[in-house]
Amino acid sequence: MRTVGILGFLAALAVCALPGRGQGVVDDSELVETRTEVPKLAPAAPYAMKDGVVEVELSEYAGYAGLIVANGGLDASENSVFFRKHGFKVKLTLSEEESWSSLNAGRLAASATTVDVLAVYGRQFQVQVPALIGFSRGADGIVVRSGIKRINDLRGKVLASCQFTEADFFLRYLADEASIPVNMLPDLKAAPDKGSVNVVYCADGFASGDLFLKDLAAGRDRLAGCVTWAPKTDEVVEASEGKARLLVTNRNLLIVADILAVNRGFADGSPEIVKGLVAGLLEGNALVRTEPDKHLPVIAKAFGWDLADAREELSKVHLANFPENQAFFAGTIDSAGSYNGIYESAVMAYGSALVPNPTASEKFFAKRYLSEIGESGAFKDQKASIQPEKSRGGGVVEGEPLLTKDIRFLFEANSAELDPGDPDIDEKLSTIRKMLQISPGSIVLLRGHVDNSKVEDFRRQGGDGYVRKQAMRAIELSKQRAMTVARRLTEQLGVDPERIEAIGRGWEEPLGSDAEQNRRVEVQWFTLE
């Protein structure tokens, strides 16, 4: 694992202080070309096993610990779960390259990726997805300047990220939830769009963190933050000496889901091998979930970590078991993102300019393997269990919301009844429920409002005392409006009442002069972090 810490920050300072290397000369060597279309993959071809060994590529990430434990390490071995129970050997290799062309062209049997990548590469990506590996739980995050408190504050700002990765999707997903478009910049000389979250791209998450640190060290204000992954998230915060903070991770925002992607030609020709890969993966996940400390040495050796690092990184993932796999693909999971939900979210987050002809998610999912494993009775005693995690203490609504959602429920004048002319009420309610589903432990705060058009009339009728009296009535009406939405969520959609808070703000926060738009309930989303 790479560690930068304060030494990295001081080194950045030293670079900026060299003659000719101050603020007048900008070193943006971390930046790469911003792509305006999805890269083309190599033509599809089937993978062929060599000497009974299946080649699977992974990256250096604790979320793949189950595969490593099932295999007894990286090397092909007859002592592995795969060989002893399913008759073939597996060779695991580690790479930080995006090897989708190699997988497509049959140079690899399988690889681990995230659901959002499927949506990006679409029809050209000839793979089958037989299983969920797990969820990232804090491995990805957004680090920002300390004055930025929520996603909505990123409007008009510039961040560094890495394109077409889970980091890119993570930012795009949250920006989309906050109803802020994403604008891709070719470089940091280009003027940012004031109404968008603006993004420049680096080769990977480490490079985006380094670029942000360099900006902080030089006293520039070009970047508002970076989207990266652990341990770089913590390294940037530490090295910034208070200038940066961790805005959010996906510890309790479970939309980064790792899946097994298998070369389609190989899967079609060797279904029993694929079934063995899935069964071995699930057994390895179970071993790590049951006795993590017992298997730390194998995990640490594979990744070149010490035991403390391995334990820390393992705490940032959730390895999926069999019933969680079933619920994930069926869409019945109630504490994390589902396969179809994440896929469709990625299509929307990237937009029609980058994904002009999206393919259906069903093209990738191969349900036969989980079905056959279920029929065999294996893993029948497992229970789905995904719980919220508290990482830094504090109650959910003690600080700023993660974002303010651009959802408005409108009301009749002087009434707590929803406007019957709004055709999108059910869709808005469903959107709130989905937000709560993918983030265990999160809550929504419903903020009720009334219009302020009569305030001056009240003052003319009875002075400031009458205004205060009507203001109290306005607060009560606005709270009743918020409670109306809360009741629809609990009674119509079965949302746990403990995950909803409703308050009234009266006429204190008008949107403008439109009385109809001011008779509203707005939504704020708070996540545990």
Residue 11: pLDDT band (50, 70, 90) is very low
Structural domain total, the chain = 3
In a domain, 237, yes or no: yes
- Which string of b and e fits 182-214 if b means at least 16 CB within 10 Å? bbbbeebeeebbeebbbbbbbebbbbbbbbbbb
Residue 398 has pLDDT above 60, yes or no: no
Mean per-residue pLDDT, 231-248:
95
Interval 334-373: pLDDT, tens: 889 999 999 999 999 999 999 998 999 999 999 999 999 9
Q: What is the pLDDT of residue 390?
A: 64
Whether 357 and 302 share a structural domain: yes
Interval 387-397: pLDDT, tens: 887 644 444 44
Q: What is the pLDDT of residue 518?
A: 65
In a domain, 48, yes or no: no
Residue 482 has pLDDT above 80, yes or no: yes
Residue 90 has pLDDT above 60, yes or no: yes
Interval 418-469: pLDDT, tens: 888 888 889 989 999 988 989 888 889 988 887 666 666 677 777 777 767 7
In a domain, 332, yes or no: yes
Q: What is the pLDDT of residue 100?
A: 95
In a domain, 152, yes or no: yes
Distance CA 31, CA 190 (A): 13
Residue 15 has pLDDT above 50, yes or no: no
Q: What is the pLDDT of residue 453?
A: 64
Whether 25 and 144 share a structural domain: yes
Radius of gyration of the chain (CA): 25
Whether 418 and 519 share a structural domain: yes
Interval 483-505: pLDDT, tens: 998 999 999 999 999 889 998 87
Q: What is the pLDDT of residue 22?
A: 36
Mean per-residue pLDDT, 123-128:
96
Q: What is the pLDDT of residue 509?
A: 72
Residue 1: pLDDT band (50, 70, 90) is very low
Residue 8 has pLDDT above 50, yes or no: no
In a domain, 325, yes or no: yes
Interval 30-71: pLDDT, tens: 999 999 999 999 999 999 999 999 999 999 999 999 999 999
Q: What is the pLDDT of residue 414?
A: 78
Distance CA 328, CA 320 (A): 9
Residue 439: name the closest of 224, 84, 174, 82 by CA: 174
Interval 99-125: pLDDT, tens: 899 999 999 999 999 999 999 999 999
Q: What is the pLDDT of residue 187?
A: 96
In a domain, 394, yes or no: no
| Residues spanned by the domain of 148 | 5-30+140-249
Whether 26 and 144 share a structural domain: yes
In a domain, 144, yes or no: yes
Q: Cα 202–205–210 angle (5° rounding)?
A: 75
Cis peptide before 231 (omega within 30 of 0): yes
| Domain termination site, one of 200, 215, 249 | 249
CB count within 10 Å of CB 53 equals 16
Whether 230 and 200 share a structural domain: yes
Q: What is the largest CA-CA distance in the chain?
A: 92
Whether 353 and 276 share a structural domain: yes
Inter-CA distances, 213 with 99, 223, 234, 507, Å: 28, 9, 12, 43
Residue 202 sits at φ, ψ, to 5 deg, of -115, 175
- Min mean pLDDT across 127-136, 309-318, 409-418, 424-433 is at 409-418
Q: What is the pLDDT of residue 5?
A: 38
| Domain termination site, one of 358, 376, 394 | 376
Whether 104 and 154 share a structural domain: no
Whether 59 and 80 share a structural domain: yes
Residue 255 has pLDDT above 70, yes or no: yes
**CATH number for the domain that contains residue 289:** 3.40.190.10
Residue 174 has pLDDT above 90, yes or no: yes
Interval 64-87: pLDDT, tens: 999 999 999 999 999 999 999 999
Helix, strand or coil, per DSSP, at residue 300? helix
Q: At what angle do helices 166-177 and 339-354 cross, to 10 degrees?
A: 90
Task: Provide the β-strand partners of residue 52.
Answer: none
Q: What is the pLDDT of residue 451?
A: 67
**CATH number for the domain that contains residue 454:** 3.30.1330.60
Residue 167 has pLDDT above 80, yes or no: yes
Distance CA 4, CA 216 (A): 15
Q: What is the pLDDT of residue 264?
A: 98
- Residue 244, H or E segment: strand 244-249
Whether 217 and 337 share a structural domain: no
Residue 521 has pLDDT above 70, yes or no: yes
Whether 264 and 367 share a structural domain: yes
In a domain, 296, yes or no: yes
Interval 176-199: pLDDT, tens: 999 899 999 999 999 999 999 999
- The whole-angstrom distance between residue 352's C-alpha and the CA centroid of its chain comes to 20
Q: What is the pLDDT of residue 470?
A: 72
Whether 261 and 226 share a structural domain: no
3-state helix, strand, coil in the chain (%, to 5): 40, 20, 40
- pLDDT, the chain, mean: 88
Q: What is the pLDDT of residue 411?
A: 76
Whether 315 and 454 share a structural domain: no
Q: Which residues contact 519 (CB under 8 A, 6 or more apart)?
A: 410, 411, 412, 413, 419, 449, 450, 451, 481
Q: What is the pLDDT of residue 416?
A: 82
Please tell me the pTM assigned to this model.
Answer: 0.86
Q: What is the pLDDT of residue 475?
A: 81
Q: What is the DSSP letter of 488?
A: I
| Domain termination site, one of 203, 228, 249 | 249
Question: Do residues 123 and 164 lie in contact, with contact meaning Cβ atoms separated by under 8 Å?
Answer: no
Inter-CA distances, 392 with 58, 143, 246, 321, 368, Å: 30, 15, 11, 27, 41
Q: What is the pLDDT of residue 2?
A: 33
